[in-house]
Protein backbone atom coordinates (compact mmCIF):
# COMPACT_ATOMS: atom_id res chain seq x y z
CA UNK A 1 0.00 0.00 0.00
CA UNK A 2 1.11 3.56 -0.72
CA UNK A 3 0.19 6.53 1.49
CA UNK A 4 -0.97 9.98 0.42
CA UNK A 5 -2.24 12.89 2.51
CA UNK A 6 -4.69 15.73 1.94
CA UNK A 7 -6.83 17.93 4.22
CA UNK A 8 -5.71 15.97 7.29
CA UNK A 9 -6.94 12.71 5.76
CA UNK A 10 -4.86 9.75 4.67
CA UNK A 11 -5.38 7.90 1.39
CA UNK A 12 -4.08 4.35 0.99
CA UNK A 13 -3.93 2.77 -2.47
CA UNK A 14 -2.75 -0.72 -3.31
CA UNK A 15 0.26 -1.18 -5.60
CA UNK A 16 -1.75 -1.82 -8.75
CA UNK A 17 -3.49 1.52 -8.39
CA UNK A 18 -0.43 3.42 -7.15
CA UNK A 19 1.71 2.28 -10.08
CA UNK A 20 -0.89 2.97 -12.75
CA UNK A 21 0.43 5.69 -15.07
CA UNK A 22 -2.75 7.75 -14.71
CA UNK A 23 -2.05 8.21 -10.99
CA UNK A 24 1.44 9.72 -11.15
CA UNK A 25 0.23 13.19 -10.18
CA UNK A 26 -0.54 11.92 -6.68
CA UNK A 27 3.20 12.06 -5.93
CA UNK A 28 2.69 15.70 -4.88
CA UNK A 29 0.71 14.42 -1.86
CA UNK A 30 3.26 12.01 -0.40
CA UNK A 31 4.44 14.30 2.41
CA UNK A 32 3.04 13.03 5.69
CA UNK A 33 0.60 15.21 7.64
CA UNK A 34 -1.60 14.55 10.68
CA UNK A 35 -4.78 12.71 9.71
CA UNK A 36 -8.10 11.97 11.34
CA UNK A 37 -9.50 9.42 8.90
CA UNK A 38 -8.24 6.98 6.28
CA UNK A 39 -9.64 6.16 2.83
CA UNK A 40 -8.42 2.92 1.26
CA UNK A 41 -8.76 2.20 -2.46
CA UNK A 42 -8.23 -1.30 -3.90
CA UNK A 43 -8.14 -2.59 -7.45
CA UNK A 44 -10.72 -5.30 -8.10
CA UNK A 45 -10.41 -8.19 -10.55
CA UNK A 46 -11.15 -7.13 -14.11
CA UNK A 47 -12.82 -10.48 -14.73
CA UNK A 48 -15.53 -9.51 -12.21
CA UNK A 49 -16.38 -6.22 -13.94
CA UNK A 50 -19.33 -7.39 -16.05
CA UNK A 51 -20.82 -9.35 -13.16
CA UNK A 52 -20.48 -6.38 -10.79
CA UNK A 53 -22.02 -4.05 -13.36
CA UNK A 54 -25.09 -6.26 -13.76
CA UNK A 55 -25.43 -6.70 -9.99
CA UNK A 56 -25.40 -2.95 -9.39
CA UNK A 57 -28.21 -2.42 -11.90
CA UNK A 58 -30.49 -4.59 -9.75
CA UNK A 59 -30.36 -2.13 -6.85
CA UNK A 60 -31.91 1.28 -6.22
CA UNK A 61 -30.49 4.14 -8.26
CA UNK A 62 -30.03 7.15 -5.99
CA UNK A 63 -28.69 9.80 -8.37
CA UNK A 64 -27.00 10.35 -11.71
CA UNK A 65 -24.38 12.75 -13.00
CA UNK A 66 -23.14 13.40 -16.50
CA UNK A 67 -20.67 10.52 -16.20
CA UNK A 68 -21.90 8.01 -13.60
CA UNK A 69 -24.82 6.81 -11.51
CA UNK A 70 -24.82 5.94 -7.79
CA UNK A 71 -26.76 2.98 -6.40
CA UNK A 72 -27.59 1.80 -2.89
CA UNK A 73 -27.38 -1.93 -2.23
CA UNK A 74 -28.09 -1.50 1.53
CA UNK A 75 -24.61 -2.61 2.61
CA UNK A 76 -22.54 -0.34 0.35
CA UNK A 77 -22.65 2.37 -2.29
CA UNK A 78 -21.84 1.55 -5.90
CA UNK A 79 -21.23 3.76 -8.91
CA UNK A 80 -21.14 2.72 -12.56
CA UNK A 81 -20.08 4.59 -15.66
CA UNK A 82 -23.04 5.56 -17.82
CA UNK A 83 -22.90 3.55 -21.03
CA UNK A 84 -25.10 3.09 -24.01
CA UNK A 85 -24.83 -0.64 -24.64
CA UNK A 86 -24.59 -0.04 -28.40
CA UNK A 87 -21.48 2.07 -27.89
CA UNK A 88 -19.63 0.48 -24.98
CA UNK A 89 -16.36 0.45 -26.90
CA UNK A 90 -16.50 4.26 -27.07
CA UNK A 91 -16.52 4.71 -23.32
CA UNK A 92 -14.55 3.43 -20.37
CA UNK A 93 -16.49 0.87 -18.37
CA UNK A 94 -16.07 0.73 -14.60
CA UNK A 95 -17.74 -0.02 -11.28
CA UNK A 96 -16.62 1.52 -7.99
CA UNK A 97 -17.98 0.20 -4.72
CA UNK A 98 -17.67 1.94 -1.34
CA UNK A 99 -18.50 1.09 2.23
CA UNK A 100 -21.29 3.15 3.74
CA UNK A 101 -18.77 5.44 5.48
CA UNK A 102 -16.57 5.56 2.34
CA UNK A 103 -13.54 4.19 4.21
CA UNK A 104 -13.07 1.27 1.80
CA UNK A 105 -13.41 1.49 -1.99
CA UNK A 106 -12.79 -1.01 -4.76
CA UNK A 107 -12.36 -0.15 -8.43
CA UNK A 108 -13.37 -2.62 -11.14
CA UNK A 109 -12.42 -1.38 -14.59
CA UNK A 110 -11.80 -2.51 -18.13
CA UNK A 111 -8.24 -2.38 -19.39
CA UNK A 112 -9.37 -2.12 -23.00
CA UNK A 113 -8.59 1.14 -24.86
CA UNK A 114 -11.65 3.29 -25.39
CA UNK A 115 -12.61 6.11 -27.69
CA UNK A 116 -12.96 9.57 -26.16
CA UNK A 117 -15.64 11.49 -28.02
CA UNK A 118 -14.56 14.71 -26.29
CA UNK A 119 -10.97 14.39 -27.49
CA UNK A 120 -11.70 12.47 -30.69
CA UNK A 121 -9.06 9.83 -30.09
CA UNK A 122 -8.49 6.43 -28.54
CA UNK A 123 -7.27 6.52 -24.96
CA UNK A 124 -5.67 4.14 -22.50
CA UNK A 125 -7.86 3.22 -19.52
CA UNK A 126 -7.36 5.32 -16.40
CA UNK A 127 -8.31 4.98 -12.76
CA UNK A 128 -11.57 7.02 -12.35
CA UNK A 129 -9.91 8.87 -9.49
CA UNK A 130 -10.93 12.42 -10.39
CA UNK A 131 -14.55 11.39 -10.99
CA UNK A 132 -16.25 8.77 -8.83
CA UNK A 133 -13.36 7.96 -6.47
CA UNK A 134 -13.07 11.68 -5.80
CA UNK A 135 -16.84 11.90 -5.27
CA UNK A 136 -16.82 9.06 -2.74
CA UNK A 137 -13.77 10.53 -0.98
CA UNK A 138 -15.50 13.91 -0.78
CA UNK A 139 -18.62 12.30 0.66
CA UNK A 140 -16.38 10.61 3.22
CA UNK A 141 -14.82 13.96 4.02
CA UNK A 142 -18.28 15.39 4.72
CA UNK A 143 -18.97 12.46 7.05
CA UNK A 144 -15.73 13.30 8.88
CA UNK A 145 -15.95 17.09 9.25
CA UNK A 146 -14.67 18.20 5.84
CA UNK A 147 -16.40 20.41 3.28
CA UNK A 148 -15.25 20.34 -0.38
CA UNK A 149 -16.22 23.41 -2.42
CA UNK A 150 -16.56 24.24 -6.11
CA UNK A 151 -14.04 27.05 -5.77
CA UNK A 152 -10.51 28.28 -6.30
CA UNK A 153 -8.15 29.31 -3.51
CA UNK A 154 -5.18 31.64 -3.16
CA UNK A 155 -2.88 32.46 -0.27
CA UNK A 156 -1.94 36.06 0.47
CA UNK A 157 0.29 36.96 3.42
CA UNK A 158 -0.40 33.59 5.06
CA UNK A 159 -4.19 33.90 4.70
CA UNK A 160 -6.48 31.96 2.36
CA UNK A 161 -9.10 33.57 0.12
CA UNK A 162 -11.65 31.39 -1.65
CA UNK A 163 -13.50 32.35 -4.84
CA UNK A 164 -16.84 30.62 -5.46
CA UNK A 165 -19.22 30.57 -8.39
CA UNK A 166 -20.77 28.42 -11.10
CA UNK A 167 -18.58 27.02 -13.87
CA UNK A 168 -17.43 29.76 -16.20
CA UNK A 169 -17.93 32.54 -13.64
CA UNK A 170 -14.20 33.27 -13.38
CA UNK A 171 -12.96 31.51 -10.24
CA UNK A 172 -9.62 30.56 -11.75
CA UNK A 173 -9.40 33.89 -13.55
CA UNK A 174 -9.65 35.80 -10.27
CA UNK A 175 -7.09 33.47 -8.66
CA UNK A 176 -4.68 34.11 -11.54
CA UNK A 177 -5.27 37.86 -11.29
CA UNK A 178 -4.41 37.70 -7.59
CA UNK A 179 -1.29 35.75 -8.49
CA UNK A 180 -0.31 38.46 -11.00
CA UNK A 181 -1.30 41.67 -9.25
CA UNK A 182 -1.38 40.83 -5.53
CA UNK A 183 1.60 38.45 -5.51
CA UNK A 184 -0.60 35.69 -4.06
CA UNK A 185 0.08 31.97 -4.33
CA UNK A 186 -2.44 30.06 -6.45
CA UNK A 187 -3.13 26.99 -4.28
CA UNK A 188 -5.89 25.18 -6.20
CA UNK A 189 -8.15 26.03 -9.13
CA UNK A 190 -11.06 23.78 -8.25
CA UNK A 191 -12.45 21.88 -5.25
CA UNK A 192 -10.39 22.92 -2.21
CA UNK A 193 -11.20 21.05 0.97
CA UNK A 194 -12.20 23.01 4.09
CA UNK A 195 -11.94 21.83 7.67
CA UNK A 196 -12.68 23.39 11.05
CA UNK A 197 -9.69 22.61 13.29
CA UNK A 198 -9.11 23.97 16.81
CA UNK A 199 -11.36 26.98 16.28
CA UNK A 200 -10.12 27.91 12.80
CA UNK A 201 -11.35 27.14 9.29
CA UNK A 202 -8.52 25.92 7.04
CA UNK A 203 -8.44 25.42 3.30
CA UNK A 204 -6.40 22.65 1.72
CA UNK A 205 -5.04 21.95 -1.72
CA UNK A 206 -6.46 18.67 -2.99
CA UNK A 207 -5.22 16.00 -5.44
CA UNK A 208 -7.98 16.41 -8.04
CA UNK A 209 -7.94 19.94 -9.39
CA UNK A 210 -9.68 20.20 -12.75
CA UNK A 211 -8.67 22.21 -15.79
CA UNK A 212 -5.86 24.17 -14.11
CA UNK A 213 -4.05 21.04 -12.88
CA UNK A 214 -2.77 22.91 -9.84
CA UNK A 215 -2.19 20.49 -6.99
CA UNK A 216 -0.48 21.78 -3.85
CA UNK A 217 -0.45 19.83 -0.61
CA UNK A 218 -0.88 22.99 1.41
CA UNK A 219 -2.91 24.12 4.42
CA UNK A 220 -3.90 27.76 4.95
CA UNK A 221 -6.28 29.53 7.40
CA UNK A 222 -9.27 31.03 5.56
CA UNK A 223 -9.81 34.76 5.97
CA UNK A 224 -12.67 35.22 3.47
CA UNK A 225 -14.93 33.60 0.88
CA UNK A 226 -15.86 35.60 -2.22
CA UNK A 227 -18.85 34.78 -4.43
CA UNK A 228 -18.34 35.94 -8.02
CA UNK A 229 -20.62 37.54 -10.58
CA UNK A 230 -19.39 38.85 -13.92
CA UNK A 231 -20.42 42.48 -14.47
CA UNK A 232 -19.56 45.69 -16.32
CA UNK A 233 -18.00 47.23 -13.23
CA UNK A 234 -16.27 46.10 -10.04
CA UNK A 235 -18.29 46.29 -6.84
CA UNK A 236 -18.03 44.29 -3.63
CA UNK A 237 -20.30 43.95 -0.60
CA UNK A 238 -20.39 41.81 2.51
CA UNK A 239 -23.08 39.14 2.70
CA UNK A 240 -25.24 38.16 5.64
CA UNK A 241 -25.02 34.65 7.06
CA UNK A 242 -28.27 33.76 5.29
CA UNK A 243 -26.99 35.07 1.95
CA UNK A 244 -23.72 33.19 2.42
CA UNK A 245 -25.65 30.00 3.12
CA UNK A 246 -27.55 30.35 -0.17
CA UNK A 247 -24.25 30.56 -2.04
CA UNK A 248 -22.85 27.51 -0.26
CA UNK A 249 -25.96 25.47 -1.06
CA UNK A 250 -25.01 25.82 -4.73
CA UNK A 251 -21.23 25.54 -4.43
CA UNK A 252 -20.56 22.94 -1.72
CA UNK A 253 -20.25 19.22 -2.39
CA UNK A 254 -23.72 17.75 -1.83
CA UNK A 255 -23.85 13.93 -1.53
CA UNK A 256 -27.49 13.82 -2.60
CA UNK A 257 -27.72 10.03 -2.46
CA UNK A 258 -26.74 9.85 1.25
CA UNK A 259 -29.11 11.37 3.84
CA UNK A 260 -26.60 11.10 6.70
CA UNK A 261 -23.89 12.87 4.69
CA UNK A 262 -26.36 15.53 3.58
CA UNK A 263 -27.20 16.31 7.21
CA UNK A 264 -23.49 16.68 7.95
CA UNK A 265 -22.99 18.92 4.93
CA UNK A 266 -25.81 21.24 5.98
CA UNK A 267 -24.37 21.56 9.49
CA UNK A 268 -20.89 22.34 8.18
CA UNK A 269 -22.21 24.90 5.68
CA UNK A 270 -24.18 26.66 8.40
CA UNK A 271 -21.11 26.93 10.61
CA UNK A 272 -18.86 28.12 7.77
CA UNK A 273 -21.40 30.77 6.71
CA UNK A 274 -21.54 32.10 10.26
CA UNK A 275 -17.84 31.90 11.08
CA UNK A 276 -15.96 33.32 8.07
CA UNK A 277 -16.56 36.71 6.36
CA UNK A 278 -18.37 36.22 3.05
CA UNK A 279 -18.45 38.71 0.17
CA UNK A 280 -20.11 39.09 -3.22
CA UNK A 281 -17.93 40.52 -5.97
CA UNK A 282 -19.40 41.88 -9.18
CA UNK A 283 -16.33 41.97 -11.34
CA UNK A 284 -14.39 42.49 -14.49
CA UNK A 285 -11.28 40.35 -15.08
CA UNK A 286 -8.87 43.15 -14.20
CA UNK A 287 -6.51 44.47 -11.54
CA UNK A 288 -9.15 46.72 -9.99
CA UNK A 289 -11.22 43.66 -9.05
CA UNK A 290 -8.30 42.37 -6.99
CA UNK A 291 -7.68 45.80 -5.44
CA UNK A 292 -11.23 46.30 -4.14
CA UNK A 293 -11.34 42.69 -2.89
CA UNK A 294 -8.05 43.18 -1.08
CA UNK A 295 -9.40 46.32 0.61
CA UNK A 296 -12.60 44.52 1.62
CA UNK A 297 -10.84 41.47 3.02
CA UNK A 298 -7.80 43.02 4.63
CA UNK A 299 -8.97 46.60 5.32
CA UNK A 300 -12.77 46.02 5.61
CA UNK A 301 -13.65 48.59 2.95
CA UNK A 302 -16.73 47.58 0.92
CA UNK A 303 -19.53 49.15 -1.09
CA UNK A 304 -21.97 48.55 1.77
| Residues in CB range of 243: below 8 A, 6 or more apart | 278, 280
Domain ranges of the chain: 2-143, 146-299
Per-residue pLDDT, 88: 46
Per-residue pLDDT, 86: 45
Which tens digit of pLDDT belongs to each residue from 202-242? 999 999 876 777 888 999 999 999 999 999 999 999 999 99
Residues of 95-107 as b/e, b for ≥16 C-beta within 10 angstroms? Answer: bbbbbebbbbbbb
Which tens digit of pLDDT belongs to each residue from 258-292? 999 999 999 999 999 999 999 999 999 999 999 99
| Long-range residue pairs from 239-245, CB within 8 A, at least 24 positions apart, any chain | 239/278, 239/279, 239/280, 241/273, 241/274, 241/278, 242/273, 243/278, 243/280, 244/272, 244/273, 244/274, 244/278, 245/269, 245/270, 245/273
DSSP assignment, residue 46? G
Which CATH number is 146-299's, of 3.90.228.20, 3.40.50.300, 3.30.420.40, 3.90.1150.10?
3.90.228.20
Q: Specify the 3-state DSSP secondary structure of 238.
A: strand
Give the closest residue to 253 by CA, choosing from 245, 261, 242.
261
Bridge-partner residues for 5, per DSSP?
A: 10
Amino acid sequence: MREYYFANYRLLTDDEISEHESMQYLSAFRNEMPYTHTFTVHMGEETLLDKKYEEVLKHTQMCTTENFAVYDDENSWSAISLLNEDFIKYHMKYVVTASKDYSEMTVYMSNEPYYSEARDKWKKPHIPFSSIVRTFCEAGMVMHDGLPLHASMVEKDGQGIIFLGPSGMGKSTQAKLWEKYQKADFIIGDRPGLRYIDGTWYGFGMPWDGKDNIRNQKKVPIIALVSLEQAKENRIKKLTTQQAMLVLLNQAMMPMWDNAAMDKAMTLMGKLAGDVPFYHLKNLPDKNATDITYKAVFEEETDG
